[in-house]
Amino acid sequence: MTVPAETAEAAPVKRREQRESVVIRFAGDSGDGMQLTGMQFTTESALAGNDIGTLPDFPAEIRAPAGTLAGVSGFQLNFSSLEVYTPGDNPDVLVAMNPAALRVNIWDLKPGGILLADQDGFDAGNLKKAGYATNPLEDGSLSKYQVIVVDMTGMTLKVLEDLKLSNKVASRCKNFFSLGLCSWLYARPIEPTLKWIQDKFKKTPELVEANARVLKAGYHYGETTELFAIQYEVKPARIAPGTYRNVTGNSALALGLLAAAEKAGLPLFLGSYPITPASDILHELSMYKNFGVYTFQAEDEIAGVCSALGAAFGGAIGVTTSSGPGIALKQEAINLAVMVELPLIICNIQRGGPSTGLPTKTEQADLYQAIFGRNSDSPLPVLAAATPSDCFAMAYDAVRIAIKYMTPVILLSDGYLANGAEPWNIPRFEELSPIPVQFRTETEGFFPYLRDPDTLARPWVRPGTPGLEHRIGGIEKEDVTGHISYAPANHELMTRARARKVAAVAQDIPPTAIRGDQAGDLLVVGWGSTYGAIAAAVDEVRARGKKVSQVHLRYLNPLPPDLGGILRRFKTVLVPEMNLGQLLTILRATYLVDAVGLNKIQGQPFKVSEMTGEILRLLEG
C-alpha cells in the first residue's frame, strides 16, 4: 500500500511505502559516533510511536586504531508497528561509514537490503586497513544489495564551510548527516534530535549550529536526491496505554534500586568498582545524590561489597554492582552476608568469560557462580531480569526480598540487557508495592538470631540502638543467641535454617506465566536476556499451528514452586542459554526431566531464526 507523500515545493515527488518492521544497523569507526547516532534514531522512533529493541555492539578497546576491523562499533535498532521482542536478526539497512564497518557487518545484511555507505570513508588507506584489494562499492561484489553511496563527509564539510571549524571537528559531524538521511528515509521526526543537540552542546554554540545544520542537510538530501525513490513509513505500534520513555537495562536497574530504597525509606549505599558492562549503574546512581544516595567508588571489588555490607549493618540498603570477574572476588564477602544474615543486593551484569573473556560482549554463564559459587552450603536468592525494562522490576524485588528475609540477593542482568534499550511503561511511585522495614528497638526478649517464624529472618538492629548491643560475624552462630558455637548439632541446625530461609522465598514468587497453551509438545524454558528471542520464536512457531509454549524464569533460586508441574505437562523441554547448559543442569537435577539444551556462546544474543530452527527440528525430529 502506498500513500502520496507530502512534498516540499522543490522536492521531487516520492512514494511512501508502509513497512511493518525495519531493522537498521549503524556501523563505523569507534570514533565515528555510531552509538550516539543509533540512540538518537531510537528516540526518534520511540516518539514516532513504534515499539523498539536495540543492540549496541562496541569494541573493548576505547580507541582501536582508526579504520581497522577491531575498531568497528555498531548499533542495531528494530522498530516496528508490532510488538518488538528483539533488536532483530538481520538488518534491512546497513549504514557503513568505512570499509572495516562494511567488512564486519555486510554478511548480516538481508539480501536486497539497503547498504548506505560514506564515499569519503572508502579511501585507499581505509580499504587497505580493512583488507580489501579493490573497492567493494565499485567492483560489483555487493550486487545482491541496494548499494547507495553518498559523500556524507564531503557534504558535511560543504555545509559547514563558513563556520571556520577545523577540518577534523567539521568532519566529526558526519554521523548527523547519516542520521538525518535515515530519518528522512523512514519518515522519523528530527525535532527531538535538534532539541537534543541544543542541550548536549549548549556550552559550545558553534557545535549546536554545526550538528543541527548537518542533520538537516542529511534530511533534505534524502528528500531531494534521486538516489531514493521511496520513503518508508512504520506506523505506530499498539502498545499498552501509559507514559513511556526509553530505558536501558542499567538505567532501569539503577532506578529500581533507588525506587526500592525510597519506598523502604532507607538510604541507598552503593559500593562499587568500575567494570564493563556494569559501570553505568555506578554512573547513574552517582547522579542521584539529592535523593541521599551514597555512591562509593571503592579501591577494589572486595571493598565495594564489604562497604555495602558495612552500610547494611548500619541500616542502609547496601548494594554492590559488578560483572562476573568482580563477583568472583566478592564471593567471600557475600558468604559473610549469608552468615551474618544482613540484606545486601549484588548485581552481576554478566559478560563473556571466563577470566577477562569478552568484556563488552554478552553471555549468561554466571548462573552456577551465583547459586553455587561460594564455599560451603551458602544459599541465597537469585533473580534474573528478562528485558531492559524488567531490570527495574527485578531490582525493586531484589531489595524487597533482601529486607524481608534478611539475606543477600544476587540479581543477574547481562551486557545485552544493560546496554539495550526498550520503551518503559513508567510506573507511578505511589503504586509500587510496599517495602516494609522493621528495625528492632525492643530490648525485651532480644536475641540476634531469634528468627521470625514465617520468614526465618533474624532481627535487623541499627547500631546506636540502646540496649541491643550485639556482635555478629563469620564464625558459626549458636541458634537464637548468636554466640560463637562449634557444636556439631548446632552447625547442622544453622546450615539447614539458612537453607530453609532461602527456600521460603518461594512463597513470594508469583505464579509462573506460560506463553501459549498450558500443555503441549514443547516447552521452551529460558532465563535472562533470551526472553525476546524465545518469545518471538514461540509466537512464530505457534502461528504455524505447533503446540509450543514458553516459560521464562525470573526467579532462579529458589525456583518457582509450580515449575515442576508445568514441565511435566510438555513432551519435550528445550532450554536455550548463552552458556553450555547451566539452567539445563539445574532443571534436570531438580525435576528429573529429560530437558535438552540449545547453546550459543558467541558473545551475541540468539537470533529468532536460530531458535525457531531448533524448535522445529525438535518437533519434527
Partner 1 sequence: MSDTVVATAAPKLTRKDFVTDQDVRWCPGCGDYSILAQVQKVMPELGLPREKFVFISGIGCSSRFPYYMNTYGFHSIHGRAPALATGLKVSRPDLSVWVVTGDGDGLSIGGNHLIHALRRNVGIKILLFNNRIYGLTKGQYSPTSELGKTTKSTPLGSVDYPFNPIAVAMGVDATFVARTVDVEAKHLQDILRKTYEHPGGAFIEILQNCNIFNDGAWEPLTDKASKADTVLLLEHGKPLIFGKNRDKGVRLGSDGRLQVVSLGNGTQEKDILVHDETNRAFAYMLAHLENPTPIGVFHATTRPTYEDAMGRQLEAARQRSGVGDVNALFNRGETWVVQ
**Torsion over CA: 366, 372, 373, 378 (sign):** positive
What are 516's three cell numbers?
501459549
The C-alpha cell 558468604 sits at: 335
DSSP 559: P
Tally of CB atoms within 10 A around 316: 22
C-alpha cell at 489: 548439632
Residue number with CB closer to partner 1 (257 or 541): 257
Nearest approach in angstroms of CB 76 to partner 1 is: 20
Q: Minimum distance from CB of 586 to partner 1 (Å)?
A: 28
Tell the smallest beta-carbon distance from residue 254 to partner 1 (Å): 10
CB of 28 to partner 1, least distance (A): 24
By beta-carbon proximity to partner 1, the closer residue of 309 and 365 is 309
Would you say 285 or 541 has its CB closer to partner 1? 285
Distance in Å, CB of 317 to partner 1, minimum: 10
Place of cell 567492483: 139
Q: Which three cell numbers stand for residue 343?
A: 540484606
Residue 127 or 312 having the CB closest to partner 1: 312
The least distance separating partner 1 from the CB of residue 272, rounded to whole angstroms, comes to 11
Identity of the residue, 12 or 467, whose beta carbon is nearer to partner 1 in the bound complex: 467
> Cα Rg for the chain, rounded, in angstroms?
27
Least separation in angstroms between CB 14 and partner 1: 27
Instruction: State which residue, 255 or 593, has the beta carbon closest to partner 1.
Output: 255
Nearer Cβ to partner 1 (266/537): 266
Instruction: Count how many Cα atoms sit within 13 Å of the Cα of residue 615 in the half-sphere of its side chain.
Output: 30
Taking the least distance from each CB to partner 1, the nearer of 315 and 532 is: 315
Instruction: Report the nearest approach of partner 1 to the CB of residue 449 (Å).
Output: 14
Nearer to partner 1, 106 or 468 (CB): 468
Question: Smaller CB distance to partner 1: residue 29 or 262?
Answer: 262
Closest to 537 measured CA to CA, from 621, 618, 600, 609: 609
In this structure, the chain runs to a length of 621
Within 8 A by CB and 6+ apart from 64, the residues are 30, 70, 71
State the minimum distance, in angstroms, from the CB of residue 307 to partner 1: 3
Closest CA to 177 of 213, 143, 142: 213
Site residues for partner 1 per CB under 8 A = 43, 46-47, 49, 192, 239-246, 255, 258-259, 262, 267, 269, 271, 288-294, 296, 298-300, 302-303, 306-316, 318, 332-333, 336, 340, 426-429, 462-475, 483-484
Q: How far apart are CA 294 and CA 316, in angstroms?
A: 10
Please name which of 216, 217, 174 lies closest in space to residue 191, comparing C-alpha atoms. 216
Per the structure block, which three cell numbers stand in for 348? 552481576
Buried b (16+ CB within 10 A) or exposed e, 265-303: ebbbbbbbbbbbbbbbbbebbbebeeeebbbbebeebbb
Given the C-alpha cell 531484589, which residue does it identify? 398
Say which amino acid occupies 239: I
Residue closer to partner 1, measured from CB, 362 or 407? 407
Enter the C-alpha cell of residue 366.
Answer: 554466571
CA distance 350 to 385: 12
Q: What angle do CA 555, 556, 559 make, to 5 degrees?
A: 80
Three-class DSSP category at 74: strand
Phi-psi region of 572 (alpha: psi -120 to 50; beta: other; left: phi over 0): beta
For the CB of residue 303, give the shortest distance to partner 1 in the complex, in Å: 4
Shortest Cβ 337–partner 1 spacing (Å): 10
Give yes or no for a contact between 190 and 180, defined as CB atoms under 8 angstroms apart: yes
What cell does 234 get? 512504520
Instruction: Please state, in angstroms and rounded to a whole number, the distance separating the CA atoms of residues 32 and 201.
Output: 17
